[in-house]
Amino acid sequence: MDRLEIKKGIYFVGAVDWDVRSFHGYSTNRGATYNAYLIVDEKIALIDTVKAPFAEELLRRVREIVDPAKVDYLVSNHVEMDHSGAIPQVMEAMPNAVIVTSAPSGLKGLKAHYGDKYQYMGVKAGDSLKLGSRSLNFVATPMLHWPDNMVTYCPEEKLLFSNDAFGQHFSSNLHFDDQVDLAVVLQEAKKYYANILMPYGVQTQKALQIVKGLELDMIAPSHGVIWRSHIQDIMAAYDEFSNGETNEEAVVVYDSMWHSTEKMARAILEGFTRAGVSAKLFDLKVNHISDIMTDVLKAKYIAVGSPTLNNNMMPTVASFLCYMKGLAPKNRKFLAFGSYGWGGQSIPQIRESLQGMGFEEIMEPVKLTYIPTEEQLLYIEEKIAENMG
């Protein structure tokens, strides 16, 4: 197993999960990494662990560098188990290590997961830990995206261990931003933000202001590539992701049984096009909700359509609306639409759901019975264009 020394005496000791394809309903089509880092100084510190099944991979990497029993500190930036799951196995190999985590939330969370048999050290914003020639400064970042979250900064190396911030679910045997396709990584960073951090834009902006005040040569997140050549690119991207502003973009999301709602969706797309609004069409039968949310992140307009099935909207549409509600996009405008045979209950249900998210209605819902005519479809196009003008 190759050693990866990211800076002199600082090593990547994490794991690559090539095969994972889902993370809490978020499709991870490019796999994931669980990044952990070992700092070898007068005192030795491990920054985070990995998901439990990859504990032995982490320990093999550590053993190539030092005897795990010599590790003095295990810094846990985040309690969630893709970061901390290996703690029980790792602590068996590192019995002398003190677990350093945020107080009080990190202490509470780790003890709830793994018990209080370990030696813990709670830290708060502004606390520092001396390792020798290097020190670790702790910065609290609560609700990015759990209450316990913090980041760890090594000022002597100008290195930020950024936890979930600036991460991506992206697997590669190469671990730096300048070794992979930057456009792909930035898109995966956008998807990661949209599906995990979107509800916490205010907290992200606050954290960004802190990060912008640090001298940085490198950002080492908990997932994906390490940033060393494109730090300004990912910082600018995060500023855009989290600033609360939307673009003149639309997403049209639907499911359809016999193509009638699909025809309406295409007419709505053409209406946005007539109005000069960039728009994308998403059939829920073939598009994953997490990919759709990547475009919802900056889109001002959201049109959602469903036929009526058993007095309800299609389950795929209900799932999308539930997922989007949890991610809490703000300052959006919406349209509910759909075809139906006799009841038509799905369209008011969609409308109610989107109103409940605080969205503003573009126009009255569009409801058509059975198969829409060419004249009706043209009318939809014209009404959309008119309401965008």
Identified catalytic residue from 48, 57, 80, 381: 80
Identified catalytic residue from 17, 26, 72, 145: 145
Q: Do the bridges between strand 278-283 and strand 299-305 make them parallel or antiparallel, or are there none, so unpaired?
A: unpaired
For residues 4 and 80, what is the distance between their CA atoms, to the nearest angstrom?
25
AA identity, residue 227: W
* Residues 6+ away with beta carbon under 8 Å from 279: 249, 250, 251, 252, 269, 272, 273, 301
Given the structure tokens 């952990």, which residue do they identify? 36
For the question of residue 288 being annotated catalytic, the response is no
For the question of residue 178 being annotated catalytic, the response is no
Identified catalytic residue from 169, 175, 223, 230: 223
CB 268 within 8 A of CB 303: yes
For residues 159 and 112, what is the distance between their CA atoms, to the nearest angstrom?
30
For residues 335 and 268, what is the distance between their CA atoms, to the nearest angstrom?
9
For the question of residue 223 being annotated catalytic, the response is yes
Any idea what DSSP says for residue 373?
P
* Residues 6+ away with beta carbon under 8 Å from 181: none
* Residues 6+ away with beta carbon under 8 Å from 2: none
For the question of residue 19 being annotated catalytic, the response is no
Q: What is the end-to-end Cα distance of the chain in Å, rounded? A: 60
* Dihedral angle over CA of 74, 80, 85, 91, nearest 10: 20
Identified catalytic residue from 41, 78, 157, 230: 78
Identified catalytic residue from 192, 238, 254, 340: 192
- The burial of 48, by beta-carbon neighbours within 10 Å (0-12 exposed, 13-18 middle, 19 or more buried), is given as buried
* Residue 24, preceding peptide bond in cis (omega within 30° of 0): no
For the question of residue 80 being annotated catalytic, the response is yes
Structure tokens at 98: 């003190």
For the question of residue 379 being annotated catalytic, the response is no
Structure tokens at 44: 């030795």
Any idea what DSSP says for residue 96?
T
At residue 204's C-alpha, the angle toward residues 198 and 209, to 5°, is 160
Catalytic sites, residue numbers: 24, 78, 80, 82, 145, 164, 192, 223
